[in-house]
């Protein structure tokens, strides 16, 4: 229970001691998405502009005008009935230069707005990427904090276990004698030192050595038992 409380307090401290991340814009975080769309858009615009420019240069050649405008239309969506009606009205009165001037001015403003909107999209994408990277870094940081808290909790468990065995060993030594108390004291010291041993570069060698010694003692004990049993079976009591 105490370990769980330590973990909860540590995690609470981690979450309250750091500033909150800014809200991530609703935009793609990959720069290639915006760059690809922008390049394709520019490519289509350039082809439309080139086709219309050639059509104007060859205004006295209906076949060229028809062919180039057909190419330009291939890069554009179908015109709405409302826009077709406005264009036909302009074409029906070519002397009305104000209508053409207003249409040109509107087109320039619309193009400027589209360019500004695309610039905002690029900025939003860059901000989304920055915040996404901050979130990724925060996830790595929090994961490291969780691992650190887990390790600290495990170390605390071994430390408390060692302290408890040391207290029990001291009391046992005082009331029941050192034969029982000293092993408990040694066990407490061993438990308390486990966190430090685990971080030592020699821990693997110590673990292998300890396992080897214990295995050797177990084999010797088993061999001694078998030898004693064999000697007991060979022994014949003297006849009366």
Distance of CA 72 to the CA centre of its chain: 46
The CA-to-CA distance between both ends of the chain, in Å, stands at: 69
Q: Are 20 and 135 in contact (CB under 8 A)?
A: no
pLDDT in tens, 83-142: 888 888 888 887 778 888 888 888 889 888 888 887 887 788 788 888 888 888 888 888
Q: What is the pTM of this model?
A: 0.42
pLDDT in tens, 65-82: 899 989 988 988 888 889
Q: Tokens 């264009």 label which residue?
A: 87
Rounded to an integer, what distance in angstroms lies between the CA atom of residue 196 and that of residue 89?
Answer: 89
For 216, half-sphere exposure in the C-beta direction (CA atoms, 13 angstrom radius) is: 6
């Amino acid at each position: 229970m105490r370990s769980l409380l330590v973990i909860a307090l540590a995690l609470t401290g981690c979450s309250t001691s750091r500033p909150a991340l800014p809200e991530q814009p609703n935009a793609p975080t990959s720069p290639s998405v915006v760059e690809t769309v922008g390049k394709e858009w520019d490519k289509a615009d350039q082809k439309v502009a080139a086709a219309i420019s050639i059509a104007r240069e060859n205004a006295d050649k209906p076949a060229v005008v028809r062919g180039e405008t057909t190419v330009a239309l291939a890069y554009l969506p179908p015109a709405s009935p409302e826009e077709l009606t406005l264009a036909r009205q302009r074409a029906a009165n070519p002397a009305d230069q104000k209508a053409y001037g207003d249409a040109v001015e509107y087109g320039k403003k619309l193009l400027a707005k589209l360019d500004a909107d695309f610039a905002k999209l690029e900025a939003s994408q860059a901000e989304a990427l920055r915040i996404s990277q901050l979130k990724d870094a925060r996830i790595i940081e929090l994961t490291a904090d969780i691992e650190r808290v887990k390790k600290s909790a495990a170390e605390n468990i071994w430390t408390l276990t060692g302290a408890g065995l040391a207290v029990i060993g001291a009391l046992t030594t005082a009331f029941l004698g050192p034969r029982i108390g000293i092993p408990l004291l040694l066990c407490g010291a061993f438990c308390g030192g486990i966190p430090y041993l685990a971080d030592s570069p020699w821990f693997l060698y110590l673990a292998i050595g300890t396992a080897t010694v214990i295995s050797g003692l177990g084999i010797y004990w088993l061999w001694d038992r078998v030898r004693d049993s064999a000697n007991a079976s060979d022994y014949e009591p003297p006849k009366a």
